[in-house]
Amino acid sequence: MEKAVLITIGDEILSGNTVDTNSNFIATELKNIGIQVTQIFTISDEIDIIKNTLKAAFELGDLIITTGGLGPTRDDKTKKALADYFNDEIALDEVTFNHLKNYMEKRGRLDILERNREQAFVPTKSVVFQNHFGTAPCMMMEQDGKLCFSLPGVPYEVKPLIRDQIVPYLKEKFNLYYIHTRIVSVVGIPESILADIIEDWELALPENLALSYLPVGTRVKLRLTASGDNEPVLKQQAEEEIQKLLPLIKDHVIAVTEDKIEKILAEILTERQLTISTAESCTGGELAKMITSISGSSTYFLGGIVPYATEKKIEILKVSKETVDQFTVVSEQVASEMAEGCMKLFGTDISLSTTGVAGPGKGEDGKEIGTVFYTIRINDKEVTSKLYMPHLDRLDFMNFVSQKIIQDLVGLLINV
């Protein structure tokens, strides 16, 4: 299996101001074509550091991919470091310049062409992959049969370059194995106990199959990865092993095909022709965001509301003021009335509601940070639950609660 090393260049990543999403995307795309990422470096935009990291990367892998550090000026340090490392010089590439000119022309920005002209200067030994969504091209250099791709850092430029140009090139360049992955989603059982239950099955897996445990909230995704030179055989192999696994954990399995819990929910709602709506306070719309992230969600998601203020819960969802006064706004009773009001408001088969304290301060009624009540209502039946997670920061809290609610809903629907 070919090995890859990723290098992220930029002080904005090191400072924590920008999250490196490129490495995750690239590693996933490479894994899908049988290339394993063995190391990820994050470094500053300094020539010596870039050159030293390239040296280390070439010792570790057959493929190096850098992102970031490419700018429109002649003193671009990443480009200079590449030229120095590969004993090359930088010169104007007419094909790249014409591409840049056409790119600017289509956007009515020929007035800044000269300012961006430096983007068309590349190492003379490089093979250029033109960037159709930005001004900085991708440059590929080769050393002793090993490849180095240098990409811009903007994610919406990186993704099409990797997906549409680099991955097809690599598939043609290398004699790659097929990779086939299956996910089994398991709930209601701790990871350690799950590992004990399936230990004999896991130890008996063929050598070309590997199992990974991926906890997501309170769910565990069992990822079975098969590699080899015959794709149909791999698919059959994975299916046979999953059929051996299911009897061991059948009461805890919620899906054997899809990865994301929102996609699992989408399949159930679509198949059963059920509609859903949300009324969120402490999750701030995260539930609705997750549900609508799936293509085709308009067929089952009718709407959502974020009645953050107590008076809006009363005004819009018809939560009783007496209930709020007696039990406080962060309570089982208010969550229940929110779900009922949401179902009536949108006319759906299912409604979800949340009320709690995401932090960083206590709630208006004195409830502790990390407290949340949520209700899942399916027609005339409902389940209200409480979570207490004071250790999570605000955004992690919102995400965890939303994941947990959709997971619980899937579990309820499967058992209906």
Q: Tell which of 206, 228, 255 closes a domain.
A: 255
pTM of the model: 0.70
Last residue of a domain, one of 173, 205, 224: 173
**The pLDDT value given to residue 72:** 66
End of a domain among 128, 157, 173?
A: 173
**163 and 14 in a common domain:** yes
Shared domain check, 38 and 115: yes
Q: pLDDT of 370-395, one tens digit each?
A: 999 999 999 999 999 999 999 888 99
**Residue 262 Cα distances to 108, 167, 168, 294, angstroms:** 40, 28, 30, 7
Q: How far is CA 143 from the centre of its chain?
A: 33
Which CATH number fits the domain that encloses residue 119?
3.40.980.10
Q: Strand 350-356 relative to strand 276-280: parallel, antiparallel, unpaired? A: parallel
Phi, psi at residue 9, to the nearest 5°?
A: -110, 125
**Residues 221 and 150 reside in one and the same domain:** no
Q: Based on the fold, state whether residues 39 and 156 are members of the same structural domain.
A: yes
Give me the tens of pLDDT residue by residue for the chain, a chain 416 residues long: 689 999 999 988 998 888 899 999 999 999 888 898 999 999 999 999 999 999 999 999 999 999 998 876 555 789 999 999 999 999 999 999 999 999 888 888 777 777 778 889 999 999 999 999 999 999 999 999 999 999 999 999 999 999 999 999 998 888 777 888 999 999 889 999 999 999 999 999 999 999 999 988 778 999 999 988 888 999 999 999 999 999 999 889 988 987 789 999 999 999 999 999 999 999 999 999 999 999 999 999 999 999 999 999 999 999 999 999 999 999 999 999 999 999 999 999 999 999 999 877 665 666 788 999 999 999 999 999 999 999 888 999 999 999 999 999 998 998 75
Q: Are residues 26 and 65 in the same domain?
A: yes
| Distance between CA atoms of residues 91 and 102, nearest Å | 20
Judgement on whether residues 164 and 44 belong to the same structural domain of the protein? yes
- Looking at the structure, do residues 276 and 230 belong to the same domain, yes or no? no
Counted domains in the chain: 3
pLDDT in tens, 9-25: 998 899 888 889 999 99
| 237 & 272 share domain | no
C-alpha to C-alpha distances, 63 to 7, 115, 139, nearest whole angstrom:
11, 33, 13
Which domain CATH number covers 325?
Answer: 3.90.950.20
Burial state string for 367-379 with b = 16 or more CB within 10 A and e = fewer than 16: bebbbbbbbbbbe
Are residues 165 and 196 located together in one domain of the fold?
no
- Let me know whether 63 and 159 are in one domain: yes
Do 198 and 265 fall into the same domain? no
Residue 200: give the domain boundaries.
Answer: 178-255
Q: What secondary structure, in 3-state letters, does the chain show?
A: CCEEEEEEECHHHHCCCCCCCHHHHHHHHHHCCCCEEEEEEEECCCHHHHHHHHHHHHHHCCEEEEECCCCCCCCCHHHHHHHHHCCCCEEECHHHHHHHHHHHHHCCCHHHCHHHHHHHEEECCCEEECCCCCCCCEEEEEECCEEEEEECCCHHHHHHHHHHHHHHHHHHHCCCCEEEEEEEEEECCCHHHHHHHCHHHHHCCCCCEEEEEEEECCEEEEEEEEEECCHHHHHHHHHHHHHHHHHHHHHHEEECCCCCHHHHHHHHHHHHCCCEEEEECCCCCHHHHHHHCCCCHHHCEEEEECCCCHHHHHHHHCCCHHHHHHHCCCCHHHHHHHHHHHHHHHCCCEEEEEEECCCCCCCCCCCCCCEEEEEEEECCEEEEEEEECCCCCHHHHHHHHHHHHHHHHHHHHHHC
CA-to-CA dists, residue 306 to 10, 94, 152, 207, 359, angstroms: 37, 54, 38, 50, 17
244: domain CATH number is: 3.30.70.2860
Same domain, 125 and 250: no
